[in-house]
Structure 1
Amino acid sequence: MNRRFEALDAFRGICAISVVIFHMHFVNSITELDFFRGSAVFVEFFFILSGFVLAHGYGDKKDLNFRSFMKARFFRIYPLHIFMLTVFIILELGKLFAYKFGDISFNNPPFTNDTSINEIVPNLLLIHSWTSFTDPLSFNYPSWSISIEFYIYALLFTTIAFFKTSKTIVWFCISAIAFSLIFLKSDLLVESVLKGLSCFFGGTVIYLLFKKISYFRFPLTLATLIEVLLIILIIFVVSVNFKYKSLIAPFLFLLTVLFFAFEAGLISKLLKIKIFQTTGKLSYSIYMTHAAILFIFNSIGIVLQKITGESIAPIINSQRSLDFGGQLINNTLILITLSIIIYTSKITYNKIELKGLALNKKPEKPFIKLTGSTLR
């Protein structure tokens, strides 16, 4: 089955935008709506989507090679990650300059806490989310999930290569055990790893289930009703805080991915329009670049506050917020910020992501043994 799941691609973009708004804090604006305050959970949607898509792309491959598989994943993930880590180090140097010569205070002194020099190597190796000794939210904090996912790729390869006939059971067991450990609040693995394992391999299981029942055809009206119901449930679960939200939300996301894979209802057709497909295509860049852009906006607010004496960048509930004078202007600035993030993401997609993918496809030079005859 060789196809693109366009509705699921659109969800990737919607989730990325929701996470961006979650990381924004404008006073009396849409960023403070309950839905966006709960949108951090959409990172788990990313894990599920990745598991589903990679199971579709690689699950049945007979001649899967570890080197070529990991090389493809490396060039998909690493170029933008390294670029953004470099950007954050440069921003930290700028913060150091402002701290020394501009008498401007930020949330933390430069190169301390989550931007400590000690965190650079773990970020370079993408291991910062795997141990209790490193800060998963250091430097470009959205990369915590990329850290988890990159090494899960290697685990996925292992399950495909060594458990060809029983990979369904293995994928189910990994997901179920990880979900159980989250429920039991186990410290056997750090929570971020458990979230990644449970949701990613949950996504692989859902793909196998979809493949078994993909022949089924839903009537348009029924499919649309189910899609609308799932969207309503997602909005409710994301917006409301309750005891088992961290477990119920992923299960709802699994059902959503399974059903929207059929692309049978009107909501799926809506998700195929250009704006949703474009944000889906740019979703990785949106996710990876937005923290730096938000840092710059917050820094501008801090500087303006210093110059004007107005409360432009207040700290509310231990969180740096922005307030440029009212609800209308703050919401307008949110739209402007999102536009800048999307525009920047289009550039990084074309100049970094696509270049990285091209490097993966570049044929390797054959090894030439230097002998006397070849040197002459």
Structure 2
Amino acid sequence: MTSAIGLTGLQKTYPGSPPVRALRNADLTINDNEFFTLLGPSGCGKTTLLRLMAGFEVPTAGELRLFGDDIAHLPPEKRPINTVFQHYSLFPHMSVLDNVAFGLKRLRKSDVEAKRVAQEMLDLVHLSAFSARKPDQLSGGQQQRVALARALAPHPRVLLLDEPLSALDLKLRQSMRAELKRLQKETGITFVFVTHDQEEALAMSDRIAVMSQGEIQQVGDPATIYEFPRNRFVAEFIGDADFFDAEALGGTGYKLANGETLIGPETEAGIGSKVTLFFRPEKATLKRKGKGLSGQVADILYLGNSTDYVVELAQGGSLTVRSENHKDGTAIADVGSDVVVDIDPAAVRVLTT
């Protein structure tokens, strides 16, 4: 695969007392024609990394390459990269067509050529019928698509998207995910998407880099990140999870802090080693009786297509089980019901970090 963006030991420290290390020794390769997402909580360094790619910030140390060329100190206007921000910054006095054509004219394209390409971009984002309107005559989702068309018009080699969906309502965000993915595939442009929304990242990305405190914690495709997180931070941030402190008994056995034994995968951790076990709530089964961890339903959270059952375990501790709702809408158990939680050993993961 061709590397679109390559980072080696990239660092960014902001001066102050004390200095703020926003990015620490980042090593990363983003492939050409890839939808790549930087995912993490506020302050994790993802926007700083995006701004370094765009040229709005200069790295303190390390290498930043675009298709093999060193761009660490290249000004933004010299980079074949465009950025779509959370706030679209459309010109209110210009038509939609003129907004999209504006950047092309700045690149010294003729008026005829600029408008031709702008119209092509509006066709691409399904807004050709709105070309004569002003931005305030459009919905939020339509304005966002205009901003996308404007960023795509110069045919950048890389498009950076800094939380562009965060200002939209839930339904519109969901429809725009599919739209962004379609645009990336149709244009063949490398998309680098920044978000703190785990669902967005899982739904849209070819690969994800999970970030925390200025460091890249794990890089992988969505299924790998969700199913096999490298550490507890990734496991907690990328989705809901139940955690247990445990002691390795050797083979596939683990002794929980409450004294019960749980069967999981084999681990390289030695007998007596302290480990953390976790599983996703939807991977456990709530039953009235049978083998498993016994307990009592303490709370029920109805989620529409599923329900979360918070179970207080008989030997101490608690966990959450997520169950798909019955077709007739009835609950599996009521608050106060005695239940058993059956956890498939194949669903258990072992974290040693």
Per the normalisation by structure 1, the TM-score is 0.22
> Larger Rg: 1 or 2?
2
Could you say which structure has the higher helix fraction? Answer: 1
Per the normalisation by structure 2, the TM-score is 0.23
Could you say which structure has the higher strand fraction? Answer: 2
Higher relative contact order (CA 8 A, sep 6+): 1
